Amino acid sequence: MGRVQDKVVIVTGGSQGIGEAIVRRLAEEGAKVIITDISVDQGENLAKELGENTTFIKHDVSNVDDWKNVLNKVDEKYGKVDVLVNNAGISILGSVDEMSEEDYMKNINVNQHSVFYGMKLVKPLMDKAGGGSIINLSSIAGIIGSQGGTGYNGSKFAVRGMTKTAALDYAKDNIRVNSIHPGLIETPILSVLSDEYREILNNSIPMGRIGKPEEIANLTLFLASDESTYCTGAEFVADGGFTVQ
């Protein structure tokens, strides 16, 4: 038996990067995984590769009607949701005085509003399951400031706060809500880094290296499983020690 055997899990932004690693890890441990993403080809190919217990649904997380469509389809197929992983996100950087209102709101709509929609709308399906686990991917940018991060950091700080509030609201219903705060993680976006700049980044991290997507996936697995049944409203940092300096 896997650690999340037969749990019904939704992973937003699940077709690539950290999301893909989470999908693979949960599927490996027996979950029935619903991948949602705007990247249709990648999502469909991943679902096909992982087999019959993995499904892909196209999903713009900033669109409340798309959320309702996803949850209606999951309800029709499984009748419940045990775990929601709010992983989808974007990063548009710019200083306070330079960032456009449009770019600021893109950060907020995708990174913050989507988490609100997911936590609110998944509740009836988690009630059907008798409880569940909501895992919100924030960032160390939700714990510390970073230059040029007015929109991104603002959204990630908000996810941290929303997580704690939802944990209090949902505790009586046996629904746990926690946030994960990754540091720098080895995803395709880092492939453009020069060796020199990569060395600078490695040297800025106490553990001396950039993290792996699988390390975030393993933490997500713990929070999705029944091994974490007394954890709620907490922030789990995985950054190689960067924020303790």
Q: Determine the pLDDT at residue 143.
A: 97
Q: Where are the chain's structural domains?
A: 8-236
Rounded to 5 degrees, what angle do the CA atoms 20, 44, 193 make?
A: 40
Q: Determine the pLDDT at residue 189.
A: 76
Q: Determine the pLDDT at residue 127.
A: 98
Query: In angstroms, rounded to a whole number, what is the distance separating the alpha carbons of residues 220 and 26?
Result: 9
With beta carbons less than 8 A apart as the criterion, state whether 182 and 216 touch: yes
Query: In angstroms, rounded to a whole number, what is the distance separating the alpha carbons of residues 57 and 39?
Result: 10
pLDDT digits (tens, 9 = 90+) for 58-76: 999 999 999 999 999 999 9
Of 129, 144, 98, 168, nearest in space to 242 by CA: 144
Q: Determine the pLDDT at residue 14.
A: 98
Query: In angstroms, rounded to a whole number, what is the distance separating the alpha carbons of residues 143 and 70?
Result: 31
Cβ-Cβ contacts under 8 Å for 79 (sequence gap 6 or more):
125, 128
Structure tokens at 116: 């609100």
Q: Determine the pLDDT at residue 206.
A: 97
Residues of the chain with pLDDT under 50: none
As annotated, the active-site residues are: 152
The answer for 99, left when phi > 0, alpha when psi is -120 to 50, beta otherwise, is beta
CATH of 8-236, one of 3.10.620.30, 3.40.640.10, 3.40.50.720, 2.30.30.40: 3.40.50.720
47 phi and psi angles, rounded to 5 deg: -60, -40
Q: Determine the pLDDT at residue 230.
A: 98
Q: Determine the pLDDT at residue 65.
A: 98
With beta carbons less than 8 A apart as the criterion, state whether 129 and 8 touch: yes
Q: Determine the pLDDT at residue 23.
A: 98
